[in-house]
């Protein structure tokens, strides 16, 4: 049996590979908690813990890209919006948008950056700005129909805090 320290010494990418695996696991596990429930204190801690763990591991993952950073910030924004934490949702949405813009990302990631901004603004009650960002999200050309379906599915998911879709 070897430990992770000796694995990392033999394979310099082992630690980054482990972070990548953990990032994927943490990211995917967040979706298990999006089921329309009312979040109690333990649920809040679990949801946020998983989302922040995903972001932590993506920052250290082998093969990471700006898309991973943008998506990690998007996930944090979505979690905070679901919980009604408008200011934190907006903070992470703006971070996602900065990464998308700075890296020249488009397509799927650009649509999600606008979606996150729209949801965070709606959470804060800024409905006109939220509607404008939602329109931008919907206007982004997403090349793959499968990706477009994912974007639309997330756009159609609550909460939208009364914003008319």
101-109: long-range contacts (C-beta < 8 A, 24 or more apart)? 102/66, 103/65, 103/66, 103/67, 103/70, 105/66, 105/67, 105/70, 106/140, 107/140, 107/141, 107/142, 107/143, 107/147, 108/142, 108/144, 108/147, 108/150, 108/151, 109/67, 109/70, 109/71
Q: What is the pLDDT of residue 35?
A: 78
Positive or negative, the CA dihedral 74, 75, 78, 83 is negative
Res. 2: pLDDT tops 70: no
Per-residue pLDDT tens digits for 22-63: 999 999 999 999 877 889 999 999 999 999 999 999 999 999
Per-residue pLDDT tens digits for 142-151: 999 999 999 9
**Residue 1 pLDDT level (bands cut at 50, 70, 90):** very low
Q: Name the residue with tokens 């639309």.
A: 152
Domain ranges of the chain: 1-64, 69-165
Q: What is the pLDDT of residue 9?
A: 52
């Amino acid at each position: 049996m070897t430990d992770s320290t000796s694995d990392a010494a033999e394979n310099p990418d082992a630690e980054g590979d482990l972070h990548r695996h953990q990032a994927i696991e943490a990211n995917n596990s967040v979706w298990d908690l999006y089921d329309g429930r009312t979040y109690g204190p333990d649920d809040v801690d679990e949801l946020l813990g998983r989302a922040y763990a995903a972001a932590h591991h993506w920052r250290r993952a082998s093969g990471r890209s700006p898309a991973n950073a943008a998506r990690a910030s998007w996930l944090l924004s979505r979690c905070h919006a679901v919980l009604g934490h408008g200011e934190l949702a907006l903070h992470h949405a703006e971070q996602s948008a900065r990464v998308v813009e700075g890296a020249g990302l488009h397509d799927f990631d650009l649509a999600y950056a606008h979606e996150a901004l729209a949801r965070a603004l709606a959470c804060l009650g800024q409905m006109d700005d939220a509607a404008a960002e939602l329109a931008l999200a919907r206007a982004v050309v997403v090349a793959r129909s499968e990706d477009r379906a994912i974007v639309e599915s997330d756009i159609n998911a609550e909460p939208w805090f009364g914003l008319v879709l």
